Amino acid sequence: MLVAEIGITEATTTEVARVLNASFTARQTIGVVIEATRLGTKKAIDAAADAEAVIWAASVVNWPS
């Protein structure tokens, strides 16, 4: 996979590997935040007393970007 990216993503396999590693790390970081947001929203929905509270809990979710 790294060899196929040479000349497209970066000029050498080392540079390609650095780009892929940075992308992987960024996705892990955002994944943790997304999962925490998802679980917090699920908890709020589960605790909602009625449909209106469920709609409110779902509408105030602040998904990371």
Q: Are 13 and 2 in contact (CB under 8 A)?
A: yes
| Burial classification of residue 36, based on how many CB atoms lie within 10 Å of its CB (0-12 exposed, 13-18 middle, 19 or more buried) | exposed
**Residue 1 confidence (pLDDT) above 80:** no
The pLDDT, as a whole number, for residue 39 is 97
Distances (CA, A) of 44 to 11, 24, 28, 30, 33: 48, 30, 24, 21, 17
pLDDT, tens digit, for every residue of 3-46? Answer: 999 999 999 999 999 999 999 999 999 999 999 999 999 999 99
Residue 24 is predicted with a pLDDT of: 96
Instruction: Name the pLDDT band for 2 (thresholds 50, 70, 90).
Output: confident
